[in-house]
Amino acid sequence: MLSFFWFTGLLISLAILCCLYRAIVGPGIFNRVAALNVIGTKTIILLVVMGYFFERPEFFDIALLYAMLNFIGTLVASKYLEKGQLWS
Amino acid sequence: MVIVDRIVILIVLAGTFVTLAGAIGLLRFPDFYTRLHATGKCDTLGTGLILTGFMVFHFVHYSSTPLVPIKVLILIIFVFIANPTATHAIVKAAYRTGVRPWHLGEKRR
């Protein structure tokens, strides 16, 4: 079962590499913001896999915090790109 | 025990397949809107499947701590609410700033 966790983490890291290409190359700012959102979601899965791989359940709290920070960051970035300012 | 392990492996492999399909869609589709069409659904479903598999694994193998998978359940519910909202916010911002959709025959961008 431990080797299966390793395999899952490897495949998710491969998906993160695919998204990183879009975040670096992607034309325009919106492609980059979308790719960063996708990378954050895959990081949540990777943190839970690491929590079961090392048998440390503290990683789930970090995953929850990371989910909230990723959501707020994407919302703030899209609002700034839409209106040009944050406080209006 | 072995049968539950096989079920967990099946669920997690299905979630990994969906996640990889979303990543390939983000890499290959020709337009911004089509890319978000790929990732907005595949990420939500892949995260839900993989975390459900780990929740079942925890209930079987570490049954002395039954409160820990509640955190994973909260994580699943939060992702199912937050990820479509974030995708909708990005698409709305892009549409209002004038990113045009792609039509057949145009150049990829």
In the predicted model, what is the mean pLDDT of residues A70-80?
92
pLDDT digits (tens, 9 = 90+) for B48-103: 999 999 999 998 888 888 888 898 999 999 999 999 999 999 999 999 998 888 88
pLDDT digits (tens, 9 = 90+) for B23-47: 999 888 888 899 999 888 899 999 9
Tell me the domain boundaries of chain B: 2-96
Closest by alpha carbon to B40, among B51, B53, B29? Answer: B29
Tell me the domain boundaries of chain A: 2-83
Chain B: give the shortest CA distance to residue A3, in Å: 11
> What pLDDT is attached to residue A17?
93
Residue in A34, A52, A61 nearest the CB of B90: A34
List C-alpha distances in Å: A19 to A1, A22, A40, A59, B52. Answer: 27, 5, 10, 23, 24
Q: Which residues of chain B have a Cβ shorter than 8 Å from any chain A Cβ?
A: 5, 9, 12, 16, 19-20, 22-24, 26-27, 32, 35-36, 39, 43, 46-47, 50-51, 54, 57-58, 65, 68, 71-72, 74-75, 78-79, 82-83, 85-87, 89-90, 92-94, 96-97, 99, 109
Contact assessment for residue A38 and residue B26, using Cβ atoms and an 8 Å cutoff: yes
- Given a cut of 70, whether residue A71 has pLDDT beyond it is yes
pTM, two decimals, is 0.88
Q: What percent of chain A clears pLDDT 90, i.e. is strictly above it?
A: 66
Q: What share of chain A is helix, strand, coil (3-state, %, to 5)?
A: 85, 0, 15
Query: What whole-number distance in Å separates Cα of residue B50 and Cα of residue B57?
Result: 11
Confidence bin at A26 (pLDDT 50/70/90): confident
Interface membership of A43 toward B (CB under 8 Å):
no
- Cβ–Cβ gap A78/B92 under 8 Å: yes
Interface membership of A41 toward B (CB under 8 Å):
yes
Query: What whole-number distance in Å separates Cα of residue A59 and Cα of residue A44?
Result: 10
Give ipTM to 2 decimals: 0.87
- Cβ–Cβ gap B5/A1 under 8 Å: yes
Contact assessment for residue B8 and residue B58, using Cβ atoms and an 8 Å cutoff: no
> What pLDDT is attached to residue A88?
66
Interface membership of A37 toward B (CB under 8 Å):
yes
- Given a cut of 90, whether residue A9 has pLDDT beyond it is yes
